[in-house]
Structure 1
């Protein structure tokens, strides 16, 4: 693969964290049958993966800012650049021994994502993009799907867990989208939902209640694959915590349905 020096550093960090997580994932499979369970172990694996990424990224670019799921945000001496990291997107899948989770790293420059890496170690799929240079999975160029009819399209979303108060709104979304489409998938890893949209495996994706590290890298990958990405509400994805993405053929129809009063 070819890319900037920053992209090379990001790939190095994602692969290093991925190797550690794969070793831990094998241990999770063994712990599934234990009385103690896997919760504490996975929490440690998540934190260790973030430390690995941080050591590499901040070691190479110590002046950049830092935002990640498992640690406090740190402003950079260079106020224009910031790493946005999710060391383990799909933690619940990891916890249950399901091989669908990823490492997500984005570089933000002056408010825009300019480089992105999402690594799925279980399937050895490395998704990456740089602004203006296209999106790729390993060495394969990515393009969003060409479908134009909702009824032929598959979409992905996230659903609430536990006792979260947004369940009625999420069910309302599903009630609108399911009858109009070929199906909706909920695989539990927002970063990979966006990658699959970029690769044409899904035709679109939406979610409410997301956080910046969930989607920062995936936003650029979808855009560089020819897709559209917007907030569902408000003017900014990070502050509104909403996102909708899709190919040009179904994006408007999907967005219209989700935004209907």
Structure 2
């Protein structure tokens, strides 16, 4: 059902690609935009979820805490209907739909769907991670000078920008390469698939990260709060890599501000 819901969102985005020039956009803050298709994709996803599980709570990037049993149900669906909106609007084929189910605040199911490449990344806690049915495994590189690290650059007015730039430089000085794709859910899926060796972010929300973090864990990797909190999504300041590389990445990220 979760995969079908994600595909319903993908269908909205795929149809919309033919009319990008006339797409209505709105600016949430400098560097952070939304489109009419974000809302339509989210509505299509939640329609499927609501039909199957009307009693479950829902959290979406566009609508916030949905109807359902918000605050009462231990089950909560967390949806980003278009992760990588700036890429999408500019015709860059690196964006995704992210759907996660959390039970008592912990993700138990995640889907990251890439409509441009028709790659569907899925994970169920304890059941492994897959792309189009093929098992995923994180890369095994343990040295930073061999690792390619993904990241998300915060919007220009982000209050912690200077601290982030210090972290970026600390990692860039020792990594084999840095990549900024523009869609955190896909970045985490790429860590799970072994395409990126590691990833870090300081400026996003739970809907950007919940499904992707589970993918990494179920592919044999690890995720951690950069500041050391036991809940990796405590403040959505997240790092991800294999178990050997993650401590090295965290050491670089914990540079003085």
Q: TM-score, normalised by structure 2?
A: 0.91
Deviation at 1:237, TM superposition (A): 3.7
Give the match for residue 63 of structure 1: 55
Please state if 1:39 is matched with 2:39: no
Checking the alignment, whether the CA contact within 8 Å between 2:152 and 2:201 is kept in structure 1 is: yes
Contact 1:108 1:114 in 2 (8 A): yes
Structural mapping, 1:237-248, within 5 Å: 237-248=232-243
Find the counterpart in structure 1 of residue 169 from structure 2: 175
Instruction: Tell whether 2:45 aligns with 1:79.
Output: no
**8 Å contact from structure 2 (residues 167, 255) kept in 1:** no
Instruction: Write out aligned runs for 1:105-254 (5 A).
Output: 105-233=99-227, 234-254=229-249
3-state DSSP of counterpart to 1:254 = helix
Q: Secondary structure at the match of 2:181?
A: coil
Question: What is the CA–CA distance in structure 1 between the aligned matches of 2:157 and 2:222, rounded to whole Å?
Answer: 32
Provide the alpha-carbon RMSD of the alignment. Answer: 1.7
1:38–1:95 Cα contact (<8 Å) kept: no
Alpha-carbon contact 2:98-2:185 (below 8 Å) kept: yes
Per the TM alignment, residue 42 of structure 1 is displaced from its structure 2 partner at its CA by: 6.2
What SS does the corresponding residue of 2:43 show, helix, strand or coil?
helix
SS in 2 for 1:238: coil
Distance 1:73 1:188, change over 3 A: same
SS for the counterpart of 1:70 is coil
Aligned to 2:14: 22
Question: What is aligned with 1:4?
Answer: none
1:256 maps to 251
Contact 2:148 2:197 in 1 (8 A): yes
Consecutive unaligned residues in structure 1, runs of 5 or more: 1-8
Mark the runs of 5 or more structure 2 residues left unpaired by the alignment: 27-32
Preserved CA contact (<8 Å) 1:144 1:226 = yes
Offset, 1:235: 3.8
Retained in 2: the 8 A contact 1:42–1:95? no
Cα contact 2:223–2:232 (8 A) shared by 1: no
| TM value normalised by structure 1 | 0.90
Q: Tell me how far 1:79 sits from its aligned partner.
A: 1.7
Structure 2 distance, partners of 1:103, 1:198, is: 16
Instruction: Report the alpha carbon displacement of residue 172 of structure 1 after superposing the two structures with TM.
Output: 0.1
Aligned residues: 247
